[in-house]
Structures are given as C-alpha cells and as structure tokens.
Structure 1
Amino acid sequence: MTLAQGHLGPRIRWAFSDRLAVDGVPSSAPPYDAFNVADHVGDDPDRVRAHRDALAAAVGVEGHRLVSMAPVHGNDVGEVGAPQPEPVPEVDALVTRVPGIALLTVAADCVPVLLGDSDAGVVAVVHAGWRGIASDVVGSTLTSMVDLGADPARIRAVVGPAVCGLCYDVPRERYDQVVAIAPSAASVARDGAYGLDLRAAAVDRLRGAGAHVTLHGGCTQESDALYSFRRDRLTGRHGGVVSLEPEQS
C-alpha cells in the first residue's frame, strides 16, 4: 500500500491505497496480491480485514468503524448513521455526518470519489462505473450531501485512479448512451475505437456543481501498482476512505 492521503478541509481526512504490500501487514496471495481491500472477490477474509484496518488507520479510525457498500452500478446513495459490520446493500455512494466513521469505496477500473464539506460536517464516497456516470451517481451524491447541510461551493473532492479513455474502448451503443448524458466522457481509444473517459466525466460533473476537485493516481489498466479488472479479470480492489473527525471541545 503506497498510501496517498490528505485533508478536504479541517476535520476531514482522506486516503487512497494501491495494491502494493505493506511491511507488517499480511499480503493477499495471487491473484489478489498484495493489498486487496474488497471482501467480495474470493480473497482470504482475514487478509482483507487486515488491509481494511490499515487503510482505516490512515484516516485515524479503528477498523470496526469502517463502513463499506455493495455497489450495483446505479445511483442510489446510502446514509450511514452508525458503524455496521456488513456492507450497505445496493448503493453506489455513501454519505454521513457522523464523526469517527470511515466510509470506503473500492474499485478496479471504475472511478472512486471522496468528498467533504468541513463547515457542514458532511462526507461521502462514490463508486462510478459507466452506468453510474450515465445515471448521474455523482449528482445524486451531491444532492444527498446538500440535504444534510452541505454547500456545493464548499465541497472539496478528490477523484482517484480509474481506467483512462485511451484504454477504455467500448461499443458504439455504450459510448452514445454515456456521452448523451456526460459529453466530457467522450474519448478515442488507443486502437481508434470509441472510448470513454469516466474520470473526466466525474470531474466535469463535480466542477460544474461548484465543487473544488483534485485528482490522485493514473490509469488502472496501465499501472501494475493498481488493480484492473479489465486487464486481469480475477483480481482485487484498491480503495479510498474519507472520515470526519470529532469537533474539538
């Protein structure tokens, strides 16, 4: 885990992992090697738990207070009110106002997004594949944050690694479906086929709403340090977490 981490304003911490091993943390065996944080791909549950604990610790949270989701490539958002051991089912985004909870999103080509409004005390994570971009999961998450008191102009976001438009060749029908909703996703793949740049679409949607956006990481398919389902098929997932720190008394 080559950790990237930072703050989305006061009280909000974020971190992204990659797939590289960490000293002192047991590694997953092939094909999940070495720092898989997904619990749905067939990896050893104890290894996954150790990796999640280490990632949660990077944002100052104990592992049992990390909350994940079970994405279905839609646009539903789950509001988290307390720690829970099981993933929030059938959502592609999570939002909370509760301090001391780490929200987790995992990916291996799809776009992971971490968001926060420190003034409102609201944080969120998004998992955005092509269906999520087409159904505006990023916009749904922004709406959920606003419902909890966030202001789009105060929201800060970091968009993590994903497959790039040069590597993501798609059928014409899928290209047309996504680009009709998110024109900034339009790309040409390296082989001259229709391509989709989902990260560009996510960034454009966020900035169009007024959010401040930074990017972390590159193309998952091009980097051996990242998991890529398109490249490897049976593989693990890297992850991103965000947490809201308690107010100082």
Structure 2
Amino acid sequence: MPANVVMLSTTRRGGVSPAPYDDGMGQGGLNLGTHVGDQPHNVARNRQILREQLPCDPAWLAQVHGTLVADLAKVGPQQVPEADASMTTIAGKVCVVMTADCLPVLFCDAQGTVVAATHAGWRGLAAGVLENTIESMRAAGAGDLMAWMGPAIGAYQFEVGGDVREAFLQGALDDSSVRHVTAAFTAIEHKPGKFLADIYALARHRMLRAGVTQVHGGEYCTVSNSGRFFSFRRDGVTGRQASLIWLK
C-alpha cells in the first residue's frame, strides 16, 4: 500500500453505547449508525471518538444497497449523499462505509492518487457496485488498483435462497464466471433450495474480472466473532462498524 494511503476498520469496542449496541462484553459499544435505534447522543459521542483518529469528518453516506459512487470533490460538508460507495483524489477527505455483515471494500491505486470505500451487500455486489467504483476511480486517473476486503459475514454463516444464486449467475459473463459463481454457493443438504454463499469469493472474482489483481483481506466473519463485530444476521437489532480510507 502506498505510504500516503491510510486505512482504518473499527470494531464494536471502545464506545459508549449500551446493549444491544454494546461491545458484547457488557461495556460501551462503538456503534456508528444513526439509523439503528441507538440514542443520538451515544452515536454522536462514538463518532467523535472515531473523529479523533481522522484528519477531518468522514463523508458519511445514506447507504441503500445500490451501485452509485459519490465523488467527494462534489459533496458538501453537510451533505449525506444516497450512495453505496465514495471516492476521492483529495488529500484529507475520508471515504467511509458502514456495515454489520455486508462486505466493505477499500480501494487505492499503486500511485497513491485515488482512494475509495464501497459497501457491498449481496444486492449491490450482484448489481455491480464494485465495478462502478473501479470505473469511477479509473476515470479519475487511477493507475493499478488494489483492494482490501473488510469484515463481513463468513461463508459458513451466510444462508441464502436460490434467488441470490440466480442473481449472480445472471451477471456471469462467460463459462469461467459461471464456474466461479457456482463454486461460491454450497447447497445445504437438509434445506432444499438453500445455499451457503461465500461473499468474499464472489467479490474477489468480480474484482479480478474487472482487472484488480491485488485483492487482500477476507479472513474475518462478523457473525462468528461476537466479541469483535456487530452482526445484523446474528443479533437483529445491533450497531454498525465502519471501514475508512483516505490520502495523507
């Protein structure tokens, strides 16, 4: 990673929010989501704790499981754009996405000129949010791209229906893509029509297909690690962690 690129991934620890937004061990949780039922003053304090580690206020998004990418050069300081990714070429601007099982992906180029953060739930992933992020970065002059996949629901926890598998198969461009998609879904023997999906494998393939060969991360499972991460699939009512990236 270029020396002028900084990444940060929060956990549920180190904040002030009470259960069910706590740290999983009876202490305050670092919930950063304003839309999950936590008291606004708790979220504000948690965001201030995070802000102390950043060069400026992060550019929060109104995430809708879509494919839009916000260019932070065009976003005002009080604006919260409806988008599921953001990118910037401006030093000190902080791209951020929030998750609690969906996949966060942080991007930069090898020259350290462009960074981006993407929220990739299965709907956005199947619809092309990663490809849109990559295209936006290249349009902004990015060179060779690299990516880091943050904490998300693991392959042994992500139970889905056949509709999810079909959505990815419809986006397969050739026989190779069909094979990769098929390999990412494991049928559950005692649950007809149900599969375990590997969101990391699905995202890795789509990035490789788009020409991003340096793809890292993918080792964490939010559902299995209750002491470290918030998980909507596990807990229902819960907080949100954040993944952030910026240029120095």
TM-score of Structure 1 vs Structure 2, range by shorter chain: 0.7 to 0.9
Paired residue secondary structure (1:87):
coil
Deviates more, 1:212-221 or 1:132-141: 212-221
The match for 1:88 among 74, 81, 96 is 81
AA paired with 1:48? V
Among 139, 147, 150, the residue aligned to 1:157: 147
Counterpart AA for 2:9 = F
TM-score by length of 2: 0.84
C-alpha separation between the residues in 1 aligned to 2:5 and 2:52?
Answer: 14
Per-residue Cα deviation, 1:144-163 (whole angstroms, up to 9, x for no partner): 00010012xx2121100111
Partner Cα distance (1:38, 1:46) in 2:
12
CA distance in 2 between counterparts of 1:198 and 1:61 reads 31
Task: Quickly say closer, same or farther: Cα 1:189–1:166, change in 2 above 3 A.
Answer: farther
Q: In structure 2, what is the equivalent of residue 119 of structure 1?
A: 111
Evaluate the alpha carbon distance shift between residue 149 and residue 73 of structure 1 in structure 2; reply closer, same or farther with a 3 A threshold.
Answer: same
Question: Structure 1 residue 222 and structure 2 residue 215: aligned?
Answer: no
Deviation at 1:202, TM superposition (A): 1.4
- In the alignment, which residue of structure 2 is the partner of 1:196? 197
RMSD: 2.0
The change in CA–CA distance for 1:116 and 1:54 in structure 2 (over 3 A counts) is farther
Count of residues in Structure 1 that have an aligned counterpart in Structure 2: 228
Partner of 2:19 in structure 1?
30
Of 80-89 and 26-35, more deviation after overlay is shown by 80-89
Counting only pairs closer than 5 Å after superposition, residues 103-182 of structure 1 correspond to structure 2 as 103-117=95-109, 119=111, 121-151=113-143, 154-181=144-171
Deviations 1:111-159 (A, max 9, x none): 00111125261110000011111111100000000010012xx212110
Partner in structure 2 of residue 205 of structure 1: 206
| Whole-angstrom distance in 2 between the partners of 1:83 and 1:217 | 35
Match of 2:10? 17
- In the alignment, structure 1 residue 241 sits paired with structure 2 residue 244: yes
Letter in 2 for 1:172: G
Cα distance 1:179–1:57, how it changes in 2: closer, same or farther (>3 A)?
A: farther
Q: Percent identity?
A: 31
Aligned residue for 2:160, secondary structure, equals coil
3-state DSSP class of the match of 2:169?
Answer: helix
Bigger shift: residues 196-205 or 97-106: 196-205
Contact map agreement 1:56 1:241 (CA 8 A) in 2: no
State the alpha-carbon separation in 1 of the partners of residues 142 and 220 from structure 2: 29
Stretch deviating more after TM superposition (65-74 or 105-114): 65-74
CA distance in 1, matches of 2:216, 2:87: 19
Q: 2: CA distance between counterparts of 1:17 and 1:139? A: 25
Whole-angstrom distance in 2 between the partners of 1:103 and 1:214: 18
Q: Quote the offset at 1:204 in angstroms.
A: 2.0
**2:26 aligns to what?**
none
> TM-score normalized by structure 1?
0.84
Q: Matches of 1:131 and 1:202 in 2, distance apart?
A: 12
Larger Rg over CA atoms: 2
The C-alpha deviation readout for 1:144-195, integer Å capped at 9, x for no partner, is 00010012xx212110011122211111122211233265452226666312
For 2:35, the equivalent position in structure 1 comes to 40
Runs of at least 5 residues in structure 1 that lack an aligned partner in the other structure: 1-7
Which residue of 1 is the match for residue 92 of structure 2? Answer: 100
